[in-house]
Amino acid sequence: MSLLFEVAKTSEGGGRRAELTLPHGVVQTPVFMPVGTAATVKAVEQGVLERIGTVARTPMSQKRDMGHPDSGPAMSGTGAEIILANTYHLYLRPGHELIARLGGVHRFMSWDRPMLTDSGGFQVFSLAKLRKISAEGVEFRSHIDGSKHFFSPEHSMAVQIALGADVMMVFDECVETPASWERTRDSMGLTHAWAERSKQYWVEHRGEVPWGEGSGLRAQGPEGETGEVGWRKLSGPWGLGPGPSSSHQALFGIVQGGMYADLRRESAQRLMEMDLPGYAIGGLAVGEAREVTREMIALTLEQLPKDKPRYVMGVGYPDEIEEYARMGVDMMDCVLPTRAGRHGLLFIREDPKDRRSAVVRLNIKKLDNAEDQRPIDEGCACMVCQRYTRAYLRHLFASGEPLGATLNSVHNLAFYLETMERVRGDLGPARTAGVGGSG
């Protein structure tokens, strides 16, 4: 078994309250996954990531009169339950074989909660001037040093197995926007062929995941031999996190089809025939209007199985992830909260006391924050809003202090996690009878 997905409740609008059980833990869904591109969520230390949302019970307002609320909505403080890492970047640096020899990406980055790796397809797609696509795979040049590399579906699977995340993605091609129907159809056909090859490799090699004892360095296999790369075949106890020895990584398919409804439906049906543990909706948030994104998500959700997790890749702003979760999306990821934070853009509620009010974007760089003694968001329970003022955060940004990027990113991540926590609360408790599936 690679995962267990149990749906407890479905709302009239399609939103689902569920639990996703993976080798490294249980994830409450719908969930937002922070992006840890190079085995790090940029500017945020893993221990902080695990406890984002913890409330300080003695807020600054009790010490200084600065308009900070004496009490606010308490968050659970459970932090991020699952994060994402990037196959392309970790393949190039420090290398998947090195990470496998060190026991996998969980052990490498000291993260014992669930993790998902993408296939590297989107990053290769973004290297338009540095890549060449064929039926066999994609030849590309590294953005780091210009060296030449080749990713086939089989190689993407081998890299992801070596990294050892709980969930891995089939290798796919993400078509550009806009693209003609014919171009999109051909690209989709390539994605389906690559998905078949990805599944075949996963089935044959999924026991080679690098979850082993000790450090994982040159670990012996089940028959006593030492492999060339040195990772343990799945037979011994876990290196990180509990789990039965029969567990392995889950493989998700990726629905493509551009902005064409007929192709999206066809792609979903073709992938469902492969009977994979979960399904993602890819190729969105690449320049199309938000209304088009919503339309493509809605029609694809209608096609996908109701007893398996559904993941929309690379979205979005806080109001978008809430909307998609209420439509029935179970998993989402995006670099936006940390990227925006590093550039001084923060998310707050229009009415701090009403956590359902509109999302407002606060530019901390503006001069009018220079003497503002309020927190970023007076209704936010995150560790940043409980301690620091807008004036101080603006000073950090203007001074080029790295702490500013960290604090901004922590707040934005807390904002996203709070949003999902509230949506889950609206949908009800997870542990009730419902449909479920495993893979």
**Active centre residues (catalytic):** 118, 333
Q: Position 245: which residue type?
A: S
Q: How far apart are CA 437 and CA 439, in angstroms?
A: 7
Q: Which residue has the tokens 């056909």?
A: 189
> Half-sphere exposure of 72 toward its Cβ, with a 13 Å CA cutoff?
31
Helix (H, G, I), strand (E, B) or coil at 116: strand
Beta bridge partners, 151, equal 138
DSSP 174-191: ---SS--HHHHHHHHHHH
Classify burial at 66, counting beta carbons within 10 Å of its beta carbon; exposed 0-12, middle 13-18, buried 19 or more: middle
Q: How far is CA 89 from CA 86, 148, 167, 239, 349, in A?
A: 6, 14, 17, 24, 34
What HEC string does 317-333 produce? CHHHHHHHHHHCCCEEE
Q: How many angstroms separate the CA atoms of 73 and 356, rounded?
A: 12
Question: Which has the closest alpha carbon to 114: 20, 218, 1, 47?
Answer: 20
